[in-house]
Amino acid sequence: MQQWRTSFGFDLYLDFHDDDRGVLADLRGPISNEWTEFDRCTIAATKVFVDYLNESTLAKEAQQQIASMKDANPDKPVRGIDKLEAWLIENGREDAPVQCIASLRLVQELRSKSAAHRKSSALEKLLSEKGLGQESPRTVYQILVLGPMLEYCRQLAEFARTCGPNQE
């Protein structure tokens, strides 16, 4: 996201650690209808879009909003996705794509309920709530991860292109 750096003066994402460079090969749609393949792709998406967020810079540049988040819910830690949301609220304009945060939260939730832990009724419940209880892992991934993450990238790139402070 070179446009982000140009517009806002910092990288939204950190560079990949050498040992994580292979994760980009798994950043794709599942190649089979197996839940293990779904998990592999979900872990890759979470690592790329959540784990590599530039949390320290986001936190520095959104201190007021983060303080408000902590005041509102002192027992809840403010993590990477929260820091991006705080930055968008504090530094974005009225058209900041804050709604795209929901896509990151959903990917993180899928990782938690499917890829990072044993399968349970929590995943079934989530899929049922989304109307996807009977769908294949590939279809679920396409609807809940691939499409939303492409839209997330599009929205953030467009926001950086048109709304960055250096664009005024």
Q: What pLDDT, in 10s, does the model give residues 12-50? A: 999 988 888 888 888 899 999 999 999 999 999 999 999
**Residue 165 confidence class, pLDDT cut points 50, 70, 90:** low
Per-residue pLDDT tens for 113-143? 887 766 778 899 999 999 999 999 999 999 9
133 membership: H or E segment, kind and range: none
Model pTM score: 0.89
Write out 87-122 in H/E/C secondary structure: HHHHHCCCCCCHHHHHHHHHHHHHHHHHHCCCCCHH
**Residue 96 confidence class, pLDDT cut points 50, 70, 90:** confident
The answer to whether residue 168 scores a pLDDT higher than 60 is no
In this structure, are residues 30 and 38 in contact, taking their beta carbons and an 8 Å threshold? yes
In this structure, are residues 10 and 168 in contact, taking their beta carbons and an 8 Å threshold? no
**CA R_g for the chain:** 17
The average pLDDT across 44-64 equals 95
Write out 16-59 in H/E/C secondary structure: CCHHHHHHHHHCCCCCCCCHHHHHHHHHHHHHHHHHCECHHHHH
Give the separation between CA 13 and CA 8, rounded to whole angstroms: 13
Length of the chain: 168
Lowest mean pLDDT among 65-79, 83-97, 115-129: 115-129
Lowest mean pLDDT among 13-27, 61-75, 93-107, 126-140: 13-27
pLDDT value of position 164: 56
* Residue 51: half-sphere exposure toward Cβ, Cα within 13 Å: 12
pLDDT value of position 73: 93
